[in-house]
Each structure stands twice: as structure tokens, then as C-alpha cells.
Amino acid sequence: MNRRNLIKTLGISAVGLATVPFWIDSWTAEDLPEDDGFLTGNQQLQLSELVNIIIPKTNTPGAKELGVGKFISVMVRDCYNEEVKAEFLSGFGELNAFSEDFYGNSLIKLTEAERNDVLCTLESYETPPEKKINFVAFVKGLTIAGFMSSQYVMENHLNYELVPARFHGSFPVTQSIYTNV
């Protein structure tokens, strides 16, 4: 074998292997890094209940079962600036304060209908100019993004196949409707 061809093949293979993580778009809760104390235990519980309200379990797993709460925690911790992180963390307190004022209990102790009411009410509030995010709308957006990019949804509902996927080589071609082409 020609040495130059071998080096070229090895180089192309190395680039291909280095870019494999970019091909893989789906995730599982086990793939995500462990929590480093970004959220307290109570905040993690609230977040898992929030994602469960947004996408509940039906005949398919819900956001809570797929670990979307952990996905959101990692996304906010690793991908957003300090201002957004601080507003995200303070959003849990505001959520609890609103649910206690409105229903006299914390969000976790409310019924499903009361939780939905609290979230719909908070989401409809206009975000003040000094704030970057509406907590409920922010969590809702990340929940949908996390759920739709989870391995379960990608493989079972979106028919995602890992690159290079399937190759459909030979298939019969019917006569073209354009006879002059």
C-alpha cells in the first residue's frame, strides 16, 4: 500500500471519529454529567414536577421519566451566562411564593389542576424589563427541546438513525413523464 494513501486514509478516519459527537444528537439521562450542586434537592424536585406538568406521562414516557429535569439543569449550568443562571435559580422561589399566595401551599403539594393553573398564570405575566427570562416560559422551552432531542423520542417517534443511516442503493426507475429530457 502506498504510504501517502495510508496517511490520507488515517487522517480522514481521525477527523471522522473526532466529529462523531456532532452526529449524535440524542441523549439519555445517563449520558448527562452528574449534578455538581447547581440545584438544591428541593429545586431538583420542583424542576422534575414542572417538566412533568408540561409533558406528562401518557402511553409514552413523560419528560420526568426521560430525565428532562436533569437536561435542563445541565443546559442552564453549562450554556447560559451568570445573569440567566441567577434568574433561573430565583425563579424557583418566585414560583413557590406565588403558589403559596395563590393556593396556600408550595407547588409540590398542589393538585395537578392547581399546578397547571399556577404555571399558566405565571407564564402569561409579562417579563419586567430588568429581567432576561420568564421562568415558566424558559423552563417550558427547555422542556420541549429536551424532550424532543431525547434518545427515546428521536428513535421511537422521529425515526432517527445514527449517521450514516441506511443506504438505499439500487431501485427501479420508472419512465419519466418528461419524454424530451
Q: For residue 32, is it within any domain?
A: yes
Q: For residue 86, is it within any domain?
A: yes
- Neighbour-count burial of 159, counting CB atoms closer than 10 A to its CB (0-12 exposed, 13-18 middle, 19+ buried): exposed
Q: For residue 46, is it within any domain?
A: yes
C-alpha cell at 35: 449534578
Q: For residue 74, is it within any domain?
A: yes
Q: For residue 92, is it within any domain?
A: yes
pLDDT (tens digit per residue) in 93-112: 999 999 998 888 888 888 88
pLDDT the model gives residue 20: 42
Domain interval for residue 138: 26-156
Q: For residue 70, is it within any domain?
A: yes
The residue that leads in pLDDT, 174 or 26, is 174
Q: For residue 114, is it within any domain?
A: yes
User: How many independent structural domains does the chain possess?
Assistant: 1
Q: For residue 94, is it within any domain?
A: yes
